[in-house]
Amino acid sequence: MKLVRFGQPGAEKPGLVDKQGAIRDLSVHISDFTGANLSPASLDRLRAIEPESLPLAPAGVRLGAPVAGTRNFVAIGLNYADHAKETGQEIPAEPILFNKAPTCICGPNDDIMYPKNSDRMDWEVEIAFVVGTRSRYVEEKDALAHIAGYCLCNDVSERRFQVKRAGQWVKGKSAETFGPLGPFLVTPDEIPDVQNLAMALDVNGDRKQTGSTSTMIFSIPFLLAYVTQFMVLEPGDVVTTGTPPGVGSAKTPPEYLKAGDELVLRVEGLGEQRAKVVPFKL
Which pLDDT tens digit goes with each residue over 40-96?
A: 999 999 999 999 999 999 999 999 999 999 999 999 999 998 888 888 878 899 999
pLDDT computed for residue 84 by the predictor: 81
pLDDT tens digits, one per residue of 121-177: 999 999 999 999 999 999 999 999 999 999 999 999 999 999 888 888 999 999 999
pLDDT computed for residue 86 by the predictor: 83
pLDDT tens digits, one per residue of 21-48: 999 999 999 999 999 999 999 999 999 9
Whether residue 2 is predicted with pLDDT greater than 90 in this model: the reply is yes
CA-CA distance, 159 to 130, in Å (whole number)?
26
Q: Domains of the chain (ranges plus CATH)?
A: 67-278 (3.90.850.10)
CA-CA distance, 232 to 239, in Å (whole number)?
12
pLDDT computed for residue 70 by the predictor: 98
> No. of H helices and E strands in the chain?
4, 19
What are the φ/ψ torsions at residue 46 (nearest 5 degrees)? -65, -35
Amino acid at site 201? L
Average pLDDT, the chain: 96
